[in-house]
Structure 1
Amino acid sequence: MIDTITKQPTAGLIGQLAQPSAAYKRSARFAVAGLLGFVLGYFTLAAFFLWNAWRLGHTALHAADAGGLWLLVGCNVFFGLFMLKSLFFVRQAMPAGLTEVTAKEAPRLFAFLHELADAAGAPRAHRVFLSNRVNAAVFYDISLLNLLLPSRKNLEIGLPLVNALPLGELRAVLAHEFGHFAQRSMAVGRWVYVAQQVAGHLVAQRDKFDSLLDWMARIDVRLRIFAWVLQLVVWSIRSLVEMAFRVVLLMQSALSREMELQADLVAVALTGSDALVHALHRLHAADDAWQRALQFAHNEAAQGCAVADVYAVQSLITRRMAAILDDDAYGRVPPVPAEAPARHRVFREQLGHPPRMWQSHPLNHEREENAKRHYIAAAIDGASAWSLFEQAAVLRARMSAALVGHPQPPLAPVPLPDTLQKVARLYRREQFNRRYCGIYFGRDIARHAACAADLRQPVPADAAYGATLYPATLRDDVRQLRALREEREQLQALVVGRTTARDGRVRLRGEHCARRELPAALARTTRELEEVEERLRAHDLRCRGWHQAMARQLGGGWQEYLDGLLAVLHYAEHAAADVADAHGAALNVVAVETAARRIDSDAILRVVTSANGLHRVLELVYRTASQLALDARLCRRLGAEEGCRELLGEFLLPPAQPDNLGSWLPAVGHWVEHTLNRLSALRSAALEQLLVAEALVARHARRGTVPQPAPAPTTVPAGYATLPPGAERPRRDKLDLWTRFLRADGWLPGGARLLVAASIVAVTLFAGLEQGTSTAPQGKRTDTLNAAGSVVLVK
């Protein structure tokens, strides 16, 4: 049921809306109990080992033959120190990339924050930091000392978020953060953070303790057995700690979800029901545009040029992407209807969701339902959020410069208008022209064809036919393609179990679909998607065929020129797909072979074999790329006058070997990233030049004029590798039972590992206690006679 509160939001509404719910209180109790249980169990086990070592040592001092006891003392000290060592690796919780701002530097911002904190009934921020993330967050100064003493909360404000939101929506986001400031249960998160570092270091880190056991196992056969026993106990301790902390994380995740919903209600009470929802809606576009702006800034830095204001680039990209995607909702919020605004929804529920137990935040549609359960109508201030900073231009320039650090030599300054013109040219390319209805965005053009000749079909050389190539109905097919892709992806996740549906039923296209019906629904969606893709491919064939026919009629080498561009487009798409697939296959082998955290010689050989398969693919790409002969216009568009030899560079990576895998695997990742970036640039330039050339041919065909002769066409070497869809290298998506047991992957393997580990630790503890008792000093036995002649036992 939805209640509508017509009065303006005020701080007084916090008491009405933002009181902790029963679920919140229950989650808080469970989280605290689970965390205390984990800490108590952890320190009890560590203390037991050290206490047992002291007890056995005391016993050994009075024993006649204490060699075995001293060995047990050493083992217990080893286990106790093994558990306590992780306490010394707790790090500060200060996120990287923060720049502190003070009230003296930004008085208007601090006045705004203080007013908001006071209205929320929350403590003011101890310190305020700015960052280059699309984020706003609360964090503590965390150390072991802060677990016992109160720690004040700091506030992070991401400037890309400031850039993307109007002032009213930013106020809602910050009101949400001050809702966290007022939550005493935030302390649980502080303790969980420290516990997570301790448990994570114990479970994942391999240090001198493990090296000592490995060294002992190599010295002698007798020591090897002893070392194996110690390693088995260490594995059991690690397994117990990991499984116990998983339970703590589950409880903390449940509490975190309730805390987010309660903090949302604080924002609703102060800013209304719509502002926070609108801000959440803008986050996707803000993050997407920011990542593109970052990539542009780093590319410019690689060329020695500085970007004066990356936030201006982000804003421009947001506007251009909305036009390219033909999506009015990209970076913008649909207007709230005048009638029944409380029933207006911005987010829709997805078909499936990740398992709820591991989610630390509610889903967006759940947050919207929570915010509008008691609807509060309020106007949203549309002023720029940069108005909170007195010297916004100076701040934007300083934080933009911080993105690339301090390169040597220093980057050359570039006027902002010149930078924005360059960005506009990048996003005003021919392939983004609205007349193409988005058919060339986010879609392979040549990947499905075995050779470039299969990318066109004969079409009559009729000049009037060209006007019908890109009808308005094509836009509907492109939208349907994106919708079906998204639907198929969600259904695939449901079928394989990566996501789950609420109540076991999925609402698909307005109808409820049971889980047993999902495979059939997936097959139907896949079939519909293939039909749309086939229609679009047929459209591509007609477009290429008509332009080929008109180019043949015009003469001047234009048909050969279009053929060359189509060939290099085919090469670039297949080469990139082959490299990405080989890299993915190699990573899959590495992931499978290292899943158990230990790797033997046979597994190393399998990793090396897969890695060298990737090496051969890269070697072939670089060899064939050096044989490409690109035409002059394509070279200029690429910015590589010498063609692909200059574009890719020389391939210098040696083959993988067992002794260089540690450095080879990170290195090949950089080579793959570089190669894919360059092939993507080649593919984009080839597509752009193809469309420009086709537009030129179409224009002359309509006017009945003859163009200048075409440049010498691009030539592509024969024999390059192709990878059509469906021919990808096989992947292993399931682990064997032994590896699943070692990783506790699933309820049954996890339960089995817990049982085995707990049994080994229990036997170890019991054996230690029994050994100390059974070998307690007995003293000397003397038989003598008393005065009555009876035998007396003297100890």
Structure 2
Amino acid sequence: MNSIDLYPQSPQNIDKSITSPGKEYIRQVTKVFCSVVLFMLIYMALLAIAGGMLYYGIQGAFYIITAKFSFITLAAGAGMVGLAVMFAWFMVKFIFKTRKNENPQRIQIFENEHPQLFAFIRKLATETGTPFPKKIFISPEVNACVFYNSSFLSLFLPVPKNLEIGLGLVNSVNMSEFKAVIAHEFGHFSQKSMKLGSYIYTVNHMLYNLVYEYDSWDHTLEKWANIGGIFGFFAIVTFKMISVVRFILGKAYNFINLFYMSLSRAMEYHADLVAVSVAGSIPMKHALRRIELSAVAYDYSMNYLQTQAEKGRYSSNIYLNHQAAISHLCHTHELSKSGHLPVIEDTDVPNNASKSRLRIKDQWASHPSMEERELNILKHPATVVIHAGSPWKLFENPAQVQEAMTRHLYQLLLPDTKDLQLENAEIVQQHINQEIEAGKLDSRYNGYYNGRTIEYFDVPQTIADIFNSQGYFTKEADLFSDAVVQKIEQLHTNTHDRQTLQQIISGQVDAKFFEFDAIKYRRKEAGQLRTRLDTEIAEQQKWLCNQDKQVFGYYYRLAMAQGNTHSIPYAASFTDYFALQAEEKKFAGLLHRMQVVQYQLITKPRWTDDEQRNLVGEISSLHMLFEKYLREAEAINLSVPINDQAGENQTFRACILTEPVAAVSSVTFDYEQLQVFGNQVSQVINRIATVTNECFKRILAMQISLSQGDKISTDNQIAC
């Protein structure tokens, strides 16, 4: 089959004017252009100040040194020159900065390898009025993009653009939809008037470098400041001055970027219409829906593949596993399929939409919402005959391409692994299916336990209440009814909405207005709503805790009816579970403090001596706390034995950490040891989570067994 046969039909009699930039785009461009001009005026003023400082700084230094030559005047003069030079260099250093768009997952492909794909892209480039890409790359994810390296010269010279095609995308759409997605990417650069967007993109990144990026300039200033004395004093002055400049430019940059995000959304609308003009409205609409679900499936499959890799199993073709994940999500969400691709009808969308009561128009979003994009697409109906074939047909040997990318991805993720032995993807998928099946909860639970832990309650007191005949459900179906599950889902929604309200209050989410329960509110009213929601959540959590006690009470009474050999282990399993939850919470708090330290190390360019001492003190304190928690873990005795991989029983403490605790100095800072220490804390939390999850599954299995009247074994082991 040649490339002509593979190229999908284009819409007939389509109004080509739909691809002309509309009034909204022109309005957004005007706003951004004016804001950039304002920024440049501020910048030019600062640049003039830098030039004046450089001139008068050199003059002043010369005057001081020649007036009275001494070590002090020499150091002062050198400091003045250093200040002026560093300030001036800061203001122009971005000119020499090239921003490279790099992705180690990319692999370049060539026309002699895939002639049909290149012919397809060449024809599409011609149809959209876009230059053929300089280079074409493939990458593993569900994605496609046009990218390029930007620098100061990009403002004056044309920049060749490259095309990246994610193989996950190829795995997610049909041929017509593939055409629409690539046309969308070309659409960003297909019109001359759209080049202004590219220009502003380059300016935006240059300004970001000036304001936020820390580089060799900052390291040089830090070394200068560490010299101390009069000469080092001028480095401190330079740092303070640049901090003020960065603050001013940062405010201006945020102002520009707010307009730029609006422009970016307008550009997305335009690019969608370019895709509609050459591929049709339905393919573009369906592509958006399929890509969204397929991206979730890709992450889902990669998580399971990582679990299998930890067990020494490596799939030879992750795209077969990706297809299996798509099928799994289709089954979960009750979606039909066309081949392995999901069919997402209009009636399916509300069932999978967010249940949030909070609606915010995110002015910082670079893309419109899916709903907004679909409305924009359907305003311009363009009918085509759908080419349902797979875009894999454009590649000469699809299986070979998939396997090569799979091996490349494993080598990136596992760089220390040589001569990796890959297994048949279907065999690996069988293990994944077994893992998924093992993780499934019995259908009778009806989603009652989905996405949550069991709420803590006092086990002995609850047992006493049962003996005192305090009211408990007598029907299993009442425990897990649809009404009960819906109330739990509402609690999840309220908790998420409460977090968003807190972000609005703190300024993390910049929203002057928002809607809650379809009523419009101002930002200053978010605090009152949060208080109201806190009351709702507290009542719902109290209800849920009582509900979990009801579940315990129901099955405990069944266990008592079957004897102590059932009731005692069942109660003990809850005691174990709550103890494990408490341990996980302690170590999670420790990890959070560790992450704060690590974040500071990445983002803070300079540290004073006092700050360094405080940092070492904080790390030392965390280290001692970690050792204390591990000692306390030695006192935990679970009611069921824990076994290691060799099958020998271990204590809980030995299960969560087998090697010695990393050595951390209380005097000096060692970044490598900090990394080892942080990895150990994460490892302990992961192992506790594994044991907790196994204990949780044991509880649910015991409940099923009790309801069936089966005898339950007390020698089940929790694997760590």
Instruction: Give the TM-score band, short-chain normalised.
Output: 0.7 to 0.9
2:365 maps to which of 359, 364, 375 = 359
Distance 2:399 2:441 in 1: 31
Aligned to 2:423: 414
1:711 maps to which of 703, 715, 718 = 715
Distance 2:322 2:461 in 1: 40
| CA spacing shift, 1:456–1:492, aligned 2, 3 Å | farther
Aligned to 2:702: 693
Distance 1:617 1:375 in 2: 64
What's the CA shift string for 1:117-152, capped at 9, x where partnerless? 233222222222111233221111445555543222
Alignment gaps of 5+ in structure 1 = 1-7, 702-706, 717-795
The CA deviation at 1:638 is: 12
Q: Does 1:317 align with 2:325?
A: yes
The CA deviation at 1:445 is: 1.0
The CA deviation at 1:388 is: 3.5
Q: Secondary structure at the match of 2:130?
A: coil
Aligned to 1:762: none
Q: One-letter code of the match for 1:187?
A: S
Q: Secondary structure at the match of 2:132?
A: coil
Q: One-letter code of the match for 2:107?
A: T
Aligned to 1:765: none
| CA spacing shift, 1:350–1:530, aligned 2, 3 Å | closer
The CA deviation at 1:437 is: 1.2
Q: Does 1:214 align with 2:225?
A: yes
Aligned to 1:393: 399
The CA deviation at 1:442 is: 1.0
TM value normalised by structure 1: 0.74
Q: Does 1:121 align with 2:143?
A: no
8 Å Cα contact 1:347/1:365 also seen in 2: no
Question: Which is further off, 634-643 or 571-580?
Answer: 634-643
Q: Secondary structure at the match of 2:100?
A: coil
What's the CA shift string for 1:135-183, capped at 9, x where partnerless? 2211114455555432221111222233333444333322211101313
Aligned to 1:789: none
RMSD (CA atoms) = 4.6
Aligned to 2:451: 442
Aligned to 1:773: none
1:138 maps to which of 143, 146, 151 = 146
Aligned residues: 693
Distance 2:118 2:247 in 1: 47
| CA spacing shift, 1:639–1:362, aligned 2, 3 Å | farther
| CA spacing shift, 1:279–1:454, aligned 2, 3 Å | farther
TM value normalised by structure 2: 0.80
Distance 2:220 2:278 in 1: 54
Aligned to 1:164: 172
Q: Does 1:480 align with 2:490?
A: yes
8 Å Cα contact 1:165/1:385 also seen in 2: yes
User: Percent of counterpart pairs with the same letter?
Assistant: 23
Q: One-letter code of the match for 2:279?
A: T
Q: Does 1:657 align with 2:666?
A: yes
| CA spacing shift, 1:655–1:372, aligned 2, 3 Å | same
Distance 1:558 1:188 in 2: 72
Q: Secondary structure at the match of 2:188?
A: helix
What's the CA shift string for 1:428-462, capped at 9, x where partnerless? 2354333211122210114x336687599638899
What's the CA shift string for 1:228-271, capped at 9, x where partnerless? 44444444444455445444434433332221121122123233
The CA deviation at 1:18 is: 1.7
| CA spacing shift, 1:145–1:541, aligned 2, 3 Å | same
Alignment of 1:664-743 (within 5 A): 666-701=675-710, 707=711, 710-711=714-715
Q: Does 1:372 align with 2:381?
A: no
8 Å Cα contact 1:640/1:647 also seen in 2: no
Distance 1:172 1:576 in 2: 47
Q: One-letter code of the match for 2:318?
A: V
Which of the two has higher C-alpha Rg? Answer: 1
The CA deviation at 1:45 is: 5.7
Q: Secondary structure at the match of 2:206?
A: helix
Alignment of 1:279-678 (within 5 A): 279-321=287-329, 334-336=344-346, 351-353=358-360, 356=363, 358-376=364-382, 381-405=387-411, 406-429=415-438, 431-446=440-455, 448-449=456-457, 458=466, 465-466=475-476, 469-499=479-509, 504=513, 506=515, 508-513=516-521, 518-555=526-563, 557-585=565-593, 587=595, 599-600=607-608, 603=611, 607=615, 610-612=618-620, 614-625=622-633, 635=643, 642=650, 644=652, 645-655=654-664, 657=666, 659-660=668-669, 662-663=671-672, 666-678=675-687
Question: Which is further off, 399-408 or 532-541?
Answer: 532-541
Q: Does 1:23 align with 2:30?
A: no
Question: Which is further off, 85-94 or 629-638?
Answer: 629-638
8 Å Cα contact 2:616/2:668 also seen in 1: no
| CA spacing shift, 1:170–1:441, aligned 2, 3 Å | farther
What's the CA shift string for 1:411-442, capped at 9, x where partnerless? 33323232112111222235433321112221
| CA spacing shift, 1:486–1:669, aligned 2, 3 Å | same
8 Å Cα contact 1:99/1:131 also seen in 2: yes
Q: One-letter code of the match for 2:715?
A: P
8 Å Cα contact 2:444/2:480 also seen in 1: yes
Distance 2:351 2:125 in 1: 29
1:108 maps to which of 101, 116, 119 = 116
Distance 1:513 1:111 in 2: 54
| CA spacing shift, 1:492–1:162, aligned 2, 3 Å | farther
